Amino acid sequence: MKKILVIIPARSGSKGVKNKNIKLLGDKPLIGWSILAAQKSKYMPRVLVTTDAEEIKKVSLDMGAEVPFLRPKELASDEVHSVYPILHALNWLSENDNYHPDIVIMLLPTSPLRTAKDIDNAIDLYLKNPDHNVISVTELDKQLPHLRYVENGLLVPVQKQGNYNVQRQDLQKLYYLNGSIYVSDFSRLLEDKTFHIEKTIAYIMDKDRSVDINTEEDFKQAEYLLKLKYGK
């Protein structure tokens, strides 16, 4: 069986929601939802949290994740892309645990409504296409041909096309990265230093499971969906 490692990057000092990663969402801390989803995967991955904070480390350990180190402060600012703590974790595991997974999955804790089935589906996609990465996406509500920005008071199309008199249902569907699931080969990730490669397959998720928590309003939306769907 493939060795699968799930890494959840969770730094302290979030600006939009104070102590976001350990704030209670329903009956568990925000980060707990991602840990639990990974633990329920049929692939039984190793689940590791990389954080700079003792409080997040304690909560993560209580939820059953591994937290073998605290990441350096220089990798904990909001200006550092989340892939760099992932690369740091992989190098740490290689040097200190002689551990080299086959597949690396990044789950951002700000996407608590993804399920174990979502993780399994993304892994299934990867296993069928091992020379590709897999990234989760969600359909965009307003397709780009209908979007405009304002320049000098004038409406300017975001995406230019020949005919703007087109019905919404006739537009090509567009998708945005929902920040939920990222899957890559271990060696490829170390070489490319990104999950975003040319050969990337979309794992499409519905909007209700794609809430990305960055503000208090996002948090309230996630709470509402939890109560509506799961009674949490």
In-domain check, residue 121: yes
In-domain check, residue 181: yes
Distance CA 8, CA 82 (A): 10
Kindly tell me if the per-residue pLDDT of 170 is higher than 70: no
In-domain check, residue 202: yes
pLDDT score recorded for residue 169: 59
Phi, psi of 204 (to 5 degrees): -90, 125
pLDDT digits (tens, 9 = 90+) for 12-38: 987 778 899 999 999 999 999 999 999
pTM for the model stands at 0.90
In-domain check, residue 152: no
Distance CA 59, CA 34 (A): 12
pLDDT score recorded for residue 197: 96
Residue 217 or residue 169, greater confidence: 217
Partner residues linked to 139 by β-bridges? 175
Kindly tell me if the per-residue pLDDT of 164 is higher than 60: no
- What the block records as the tokens of 56 is 């997040």
In-domain check, residue 67: yes
For residue 154, what pLDDT band results from cuts at 50, 70 and 90? confident
Whether residue 164 contacts residue 157, with contact meaning beta carbons closer than 8 Å, is answered with yes
Q: How many domains does the chain have?
A: 1
Mean pLDDT, the chain, whole residue set: 91
In-domain check, residue 147: no
Segments forming the whole domain that contains residue 95: 4-137+176-227
- Give the pairing type, strands 133-139 and 175-185: antiparallel
CATH number at residue 72: 3.90.550.10
